[in-house]
Amino acid sequence: MMNKKEYKKWVAKLVPYWNEHRKLEAAFRLKEVWLEAKILKETGRDLIFFYGDMSEGCMGIGADNFNDRKKFPLIHDADLEKGDK
């Protein structure tokens, strides 16, 4: 088990990587928000990319507004991967 001194040392070493990760994540999120706006403009539906456990990544696309989810449920990643085949 790591003692407090080792822990603090590792925190200091990893801070630059964490900061870089946050920059990459922010850039990606901006692109994703742009893409969601494009979906709205082109389809007339306010849809978003859904994430569950982040280790699994994006689960699919569905209605942003909770009340719209009965009319437009989540379309799962597996179905989107298959496309219209």
Domain ranges of the chain: 1-44, 45-85
When pLDDT is averaged across residues 11-20 and rounded to a whole number, the result is: 97
Percent residues over pLDDT 70 in the chain: 96
Residue 48, CA distances (Å) to 27, 57, 64 in order: 17, 14, 6
Per-residue pLDDT band at 45 (split at 50, 70, 90): very high
What is the per-residue pLDDT for 84?
67
Residue whose structure tokens are 């893409």: 35
- Which regions of the chain does DSSP assign to beta strands (E)? 47-51, 58-63, 75-76
